[in-house]
Structure 1
Amino acid sequence: MNTTIMLFLLQDGITNGAIYALLGLALVLVFAVTRVILIPQGEFVTYGALTYATLAAGQVPGTARLAVAMGIVAFVLDLVMRRRSLRFVLIVQGFFINIALPTAVLALTLSLASKQTPIAVDIVLSLLIVGTIGLYLYRIAFAPIAHTSVLVLLIAAVGCHLALQGIGLVFFGAEGQRGPALSNAAFTIDPLRFTGQSIAVYAVTLALIAALWLLFSFTLYGKALRATAVNRLGARLVGIRTALSGQIAFLLAAVIGATSGILIIPITTLYYDTGFLIGLKGFVAAIIGGLVSYPLTAIAALLVGSVESFSSFYASNFKEVIVFALIIPVLLLRSLATPAVDEEKD
């Protein structure tokens, strides 16, 4: 291997690692706030990417109708669970959040789908659609069992992954899709060539990391999320609505996942089930970060991307095995360094 090839592989690894960093941060956020290991994070990537590609092709994505259906289910579930303490204000609030919001997004999608809309409009619509799906997913699947064990939440997450993956096959079909690039610009810094899309990956990743830092450091909702992550019971005792914190965490995770998918789909062809493997690599970075450390997760994601890139050059048939094997020594070290604790009791 010469220096030029090494630089190419390193560039590719950093680009992939930036995507894995976003997914890893989303996984850490959701787990810290809700104790849910978000297996469906890959579906958010797929839904965001394929929704964007479908809108760019002038068609209406099925995910917009799915958001409306999930909103209706969430609204009915709210009525059933609050039937003994229902008030008119709560009913109206639930109607606007669960039914009016996704219906308005669907109406906007129907009105713009057949027109040649700018890329920015397609991106915003995609984020709105997938963001609402993430919001209702927590309300339907995880909020009713929020106080159960981590194992039960993990089983529910696996079930959601399988359901969303099957729905994705129905909506988008088995054929792969690609979307338009955010920018067609390109420049060369000998010997490396940087495209507008790769620069967009770096810029959006840094912007989202900075936005998350600002959210957690300077906003009331961000501090509420941090408090819920540190001590869920203590947060409830001081008046923080942990259910709302969970919804915000899932909303952010869905938006981050959809953004990652939109950044990926101009570079490579995505299928309805591609996001699962991409999400798993973000999960590897989150595991290396201990599912608690945001900076360590971001650094680990760059490591995962670089290892994947060099593995594809030296042993392409085993690159996935090599990437996923990274968590084995990490888990061994953590198990040796962590003192034994009693099993979690229900």
Structure 2
Amino acid sequence: MNTTIMLFLVQDGVTNGAIYALLGLALVLVFAVTRVILIPQGEFVTYGALTYASLSAGEMPGTAKLAVAMGVVAMGLDLFAGRRSLHLRGLARAFAINIVLPSAIFALTYGLAGRHPPIAINFTLSLLIVAVIGLFLYRIAFQPIAHTSVLVLLIASVGCHLALQGFGLVFFGAEGQRGPPISDATFSIGALRFTGQSIAVYAMTVAFIAGLWLFFGLTLYGKALRATAINRLGARLVGIRTTLSGQIAFLLASVIGAVSGILIVPITTLYYDTGFLIGLKGFIAAIIGGLVSYPLTAIAALVVGSVEAFSSFYASNFKEVIVFTLILPVLVLRSLAAPAVEEEKD
């Protein structure tokens, strides 16, 4: 290996690591607030990428229909939960979020599909569709069992992953898709060649990390999320709605996943089940970060991306094995160092 090849591998590792950092941060956020190990994070990646690719190809994405259907189910759950004390204001709010919002997004998507709108509009529509799906996923699958054990939440997460993956096969088929790049610009620094898409990956990663830092540090909702992550019972006692915190966490996770997918799909061909493997690599970074540390998760993601890049050069047939092996020493060390504690009772 010469210096030029090493620089190319480092560049690829940093690009992949930036994507894994976004996914790892989303997983840490959701687990800290809701105790849910969000296995469907990979499906948010797939849905965002393939929805964007479908809109760019002039097709109507099935995810817009799924958002409407999930909104109807969520509305039914809200009506059932509040059947004994229905208030007009609460009913109007539930109707606006569960019915009006996804229907408006569906109508806008239907009206623009086939007209080849600009990339910025396809980008925004894809984010809106996946964000709504993430919001309704929490309401339907996790909010009713929010106070159960982590094991029950994990089983529900696996079920959601399998269901969403099946819907992905129905909506997008078994064939892979690619989307147009956000920017066609290219420039070189020495032997390295940078594209507008790779710069967008770096810029989005830095922007999300900075945005999350400002959100958690300066906004009221961000502070509520932090309080819920530290102590759910204490947060409820001081008047913080942990249900709303869970909805915000899933909304942020779905947006981060969709952005990651849109950034990836111009670089590589994505299939309906590709997101699961990508999400697992973000999960490795989150585990190394202990599912609590955002900076350590971001650093671990860059390590995972670099190990993957160098493994693909030296032993491409075993690169996935090498990457997933990174988690073993971390789990062993944490199991030896962590004291045995009982699960918190809410």
TM-score normalized by the length of structure 1 = 0.99
- Given residue 328 of structure 1, which amino acid in structure 2 is its aligned partner? L
Once superposed, which parts of structure 1, at least 4 consecutive aligned residues long, lie more than 3 Å away? 342-346
Alignment match, 1:76 = 76
Residues 179-212 of structure 1: CA deviation (Å, up to 9, x unaligned): 0000001011111100111001000110111111
Residue aligned with 2:7, SS: helix
Residues 97-120 of structure 1: CA deviation (Å, up to 9, x unaligned): 000000000001011112121100
Query: How far apart, in 1, do the equivalents of 2:233 and 2:101 lie?
Result: 31
Aligned CA-pair RMSD: 0.9
Contact 2:55/2:116, CA 8 A, preserved across alignment: no
Contact 1:52/1:123, CA 8 A, preserved across alignment: yes
Residues 289-322 of structure 1: CA deviation (Å, up to 9, x unaligned): 0000000000000000000000111111111111
- Given residue 106 of structure 1, which amino acid in structure 2 is its aligned partner? F
TM-score normalized by the length of structure 2 = 0.99
Alignment match, 1:156 = 156
Query: How far apart, in 2, do the equivalents of 1:205 and 1:342 lie?
Result: 36
Residues 20-66 of structure 1: CA deviation (Å, up to 9, x unaligned): 00000000000000000000000000000000000001111000010
Matches within 5 A, 1:217-296: 217-296=217-296
Shift of residue 335, structure 1, vs aligned partner: 1.1
Alignment match, 2:13 = 13
Matches within 5 A, 1:57-76: 57-76=57-76
Matches within 5 A, 1:117-156: 117-156=117-156
Alignment match, 2:47 = 47
Counting aligned pairs with the same residue, the percent is: 80
- Given residue 270 of structure 2, which amino acid in structure 1 is its aligned partner? L
Shift of residue 88, structure 1, vs aligned partner: 1.3
Question: Cα gap change, 1:344/1:221 in structure 2, threshold over 3 Å: closer, same or farther?
Answer: closer
Residue aligned with 2:187, SS: strand
Structure 2, unpaired ranges of 5+: none
- Given residue 289 of structure 2, which amino acid in structure 1 is its aligned partner? G
Structure 1, unpaired ranges of 5+: none
- Given residue 304 of structure 1, which amino acid in structure 2 is its aligned partner? V
Alignment match, 2:302 = 302
Aligned residues: 346
Contact 1:149/1:344, CA 8 A, preserved across alignment: no
> Is 1:110–2:115 an aligned residue pair?
no
Contact 1:36/1:154, CA 8 A, preserved across alignment: yes
Shift of residue 342, structure 1, vs aligned partner: 3.7
Shift of residue 89, structure 1, vs aligned partner: 1.1
Residue aligned with 1:30, SS: helix
Matches within 5 A, 1:190-209: 190-209=190-209
Residue aligned with 1:175, SS: coil
Alignment match, 2:96 = 96
Question: Cα gap change, 1:129/1:95 in structure 2, threshold over 3 Å: closer, same or farther?
Answer: same
Question: Cα gap change, 1:314/1:22 in structure 2, threshold over 3 Å: closer, same or farther?
Answer: same
Residue aligned with 2:148, SS: coil
Alignment match, 1:172 = 172
Query: How far apart, in 2, do the equivalents of 1:153 and 1:172 lie?
Result: 28
Query: How far apart, in 2, do the equivalents of 1:343 and 1:81 lie?
Result: 27
